[in-house]
Amino acid sequence: MELHRNLKSSKILQISLILVLGFSSLRISECRKHRILESSKSYSSTNCRAYTTSLTDFGGIGDGVTSNTKAFQRAIDYLSQFGSYGGGLLYVPPGKWLTGSFNLTSYFTLYLHKDAVIMGSQDMNDWPLIDPLPSYGRGRDEPGGRYSSLIMGSNLTDVVITGDNGTIDGQGAMWWQKFRNKELNYTRGYLIEIMFSDQILISNLTLVNSPNWNVHPVYSSNVIVKGITILAPVKSPNTDGINPDSCTNVRIEDCYIVSGDDCIAIKSGWDEYGIAFGMPTRHVIIRRLTCISPSSAVIALGSEMSGGIQDVRAEDITAINSESGVRIKTSIGRGGFVKDIYAKGFKMYTMKYVFWMTGNYGDHPDANWDPKAIPVIDRISYSDMTAENVTMAGRLLGIQTAPFTGICISNVAIQMANATKLAWNCSDIQGVSSFVSPQPCDSLLDQDSESGPCPYPTDRLSIDDVEFKECFLPSTHA
């Protein structure tokens, strides 16, 4: 983009040339309602953009064979100039757009048409190696660095990835097979990773077959994930749905997830690296989630929680054929905390465990973890739930030297699959319960009285105040 490098000398010249360019490769979005043509396609977003360009304007070819890595990166680099002038939108038309990893920019929207499929390259060189996350100290699968994520963003403000239910297909089978065969020297990439960023919206998309986790916002704030369908084979390795990691103010709603690992896993770094980095995940709301996770949790807290996890609210959740409803995973060596966790309004069908807490998860990054780093688990509230066809109601195993405290379970009706089996197995936990069937373990029974309903916060999270605007694509993209 020689032309635009020269333009940097004069902002006024830049703007006027942008306007001229607007009639060729660049199309000015019609964001004001009175200018909207009948045929314009509307979509909702946290921010509309002033400039729109199509991937085809940058040489994109949607035949499922040609590589579009350069087209994506050139289009996004080009649009990055308009951040101060209303931002840019990259339109991905119908077609199969094969690509390697690419980086996003600020004040930017990636918009997928409903028949657009972004496909992850099968050439590992298209997923360049990058540094490990500082709060993990190494890759999650293997020591050392890791492969880039397919769609990456770092140090950004105001990023939207959306579409009319268009698809991002990681084509992960190649990676799963290499992982299972222990042929990989580095950790598999994620489908979407946004780090050190603020104001992120990921909405109205279908994500399939990620090589590893699907959506990984990390060291970020003000993140909304809404209206996302995530599909991966239930036996695919580590295909977690949405993993907010050392993030503040996160809102996950209206998602449908079927995958080979946890549907949602809230994290904050791993053992000594996470403790040193010290960045908690706080103020998370999850609502209207449907999850199928036969070998993992609907909502997991941990196992990487060394920066701490606090103030997570989950409500109106449907779980089908899943291993556990809510699971806390931690270990001596993790340090950190999991506290003020509130879950209510779950409907569960065919579960191995409704509630599961694991204080001896193990799984350390290396031999340098600190045996004196004891996690604190406190104020965990579960209420207003039903579950059917359950193997075990609760398996709640704390840490002997540091029991999990402040556990409250109320108004939970669990129908056991086999009534004769042990319903609860608890150790090193303390708490109360009321109106729970079958009757919980002794450590949750208040001998003197019913404890009453468990607390659920009544204040509003600031991320719930973020509103959507009606935006319009140029009629050429309708």
Q: Which of the residues are catalytic?
A: 261
Q: Verify binding: residue 130, ligand NAG, rule CB under 6 A.
A: yes
Q: How far is the CB of 257 from ligand NAG (least distance, A)?
A: 11
Specify whether the CB–CB gap between 427 and 398 falls below 8 A. Answer: yes
Q: Is 183 or 442 the residue whose CB approaches ligand NAG more closely? A: 183
Q: Please state whether 288 falls in left (phi above 0), alpha (psi between -120 and 50) or beta.
A: left
Pairing of strands 27-28, 51-54: antiparallel
Answer for which of 217, 227, 260, 325 binds ligand NAG (CB under 6 A) is 227
| Pick 205 or 341: Cβ nearer ligand NAG | 205
**Binding segment for ligand NAG among 138-146, 203-211, 403-411, 436-444 (CB under 6 A)?**
203-211
Shortest distance, position 443 Cβ to ligand NAG, whole Å: 12
- Rounded alpha-carbon distances, angstroms, from residue 253 to 223, 257, 383, 399: 11, 11, 19, 33
The minimum distance between CB 117 and ligand NAG, in angstroms, equals 11
Identity of the residue numbered 193? E
Give the residue with the Cβ less far from ligand NAG, 398 or 410. Answer: 398
Q: Which helix (H) or strand (E) holds 298?
A: strand 297-301
Q: What is the C-alpha separation between 265 and 279, in angstroms, rounded?
A: 16
* Pair 121, 67: CB distance under 8 Å: yes
Please identify, using beta-carbon distances, which residue of 18 and 151 lies nearer to ligand NAG.
Answer: 151
Residues 90, 184, 263, 444: which binds ligand NAG (CB under 6 A)?
Answer: 184
Residue 148 sits in the site that holds ligand NAG (CB under 6 A): yes
Pick out residues in 280-319 that bind ligand NAG (CB under 6 A). none
Quote the least distance from Cβ 13 to ligand NAG, whole Å.
Answer: 28
165 touching ligand NAG, by CB under 6 A: yes
Which lies closer to ligand NAG via its Cβ, residue 18 or residue 257?
257
Q: Which stretch binds ligand NAG (CB under 6 A): 95-103, 237-245, 304-312, 448-456?
A: 95-103
Within 8 A by CB and 6+ apart from 294, the residues are: 234, 321, 322, 323
Residue placing its CB nearer to ligand NAG in the complex, 268 or 381: 268
Binding piece for ligand NAG, criterion CB under 6 A, among 13-21, 51-59, 196-204, 284-292: 196-204
Map residues 383-422 to x or -, x wherever contact with ligand NAG holds by CB under 6 A: ------x-x-----x-------------------xx---x
Contacts of 257 (CB under 8 A, 6+ apart): 228, 229, 230, 241, 242, 263, 264, 289, 290, 291, 292, 293
HSE (side-chain half, CA atoms, 13 Å) at 104:
32
The DSSP H or E segment spanning 271 is helix 271-277
Convert residues 455-474 into a mask of x (bound to ligand NAG by CB under 6 A) and - (unbound): -------------x------
Residue among 128 and 457 whose Cβ is closer to ligand NAG:
128
**Contact by Cβ (8 Å): 430, 402:** no
Q: Return d(Cα 355, Cα 158) in angstroms, integer.
A: 37
Q: Rounded CA gap, 406 and 412, in Å?
A: 17
Q: For the CB of residue 155, give the shortest distance to ligand NAG in the complex, in Å.
A: 4
Measured between alpha carbons, how far is 28 from 290 in angstroms, rounded to an integer?
38
Q: Which conformational region is residue 391 in: left (phi greater than 0), alpha (psi within -120 to 50 degrees), or beta?
A: alpha
CA atoms within 13 A on the CB side of 23: 4
The residue from 29, 106, 220, 229 that contacts ligand NAG (CB under 6 A) is 229
Widest Cα–Cα separation across the chain: 79
Is the CB of 231 or the CB of 432 nearer to ligand NAG? 231
Query: What radius of gyration do the chain's Cα atoms show?
Result: 24
From the list 56-64, 177-185, 239-247, 449-457, the region that binds ligand NAG by CB under 6 A is: 177-185
Supply the minimum distance, in Å, between the C-beta of residue 187 and ligand NAG.
Answer: 12
Q: What x-and-dash track marks residues 96-125 binding ligand NAG by CB under 6 A?
A: -----xxx----------------------
Amino acid at site 338: V
CA–CA dist 234, 258 (Å, integer)? 7
Size of the site for ligand NAG (CB under 6 A): 32
Q: List the x/- string, 50-89, binding to ligand NAG by CB under 6 A.
A: ----------------------------------------
Torsion angle, alpha carbons of 380, 386, 391, 392, to 10: 30
Contact (Cβ atoms closer than 8 angstroms) between residue 207 and residue 172: no
Q: Decide: is 185 part of the binding site for ligand NAG (CB under 6 A).
A: yes
Query: Please, which of residues 207-226 interact with ligand NAG by CB under 6 A?
Result: 226
Q: Which residue is nearest to ligand NAG (CB)?
A: 417
Residue 127 Cβ vs ligand NAG, minimum distance, rounded to whole Å: 8
Write out the residues near ligand NAG by the rule CB under 6 A.
Answer: 43-44, 101-103, 128, 130, 148, 152, 154-155, 162, 165, 183-185, 196, 203-204, 206, 226-227, 229, 350, 389, 391, 397, 417-418, 422, 425, 468
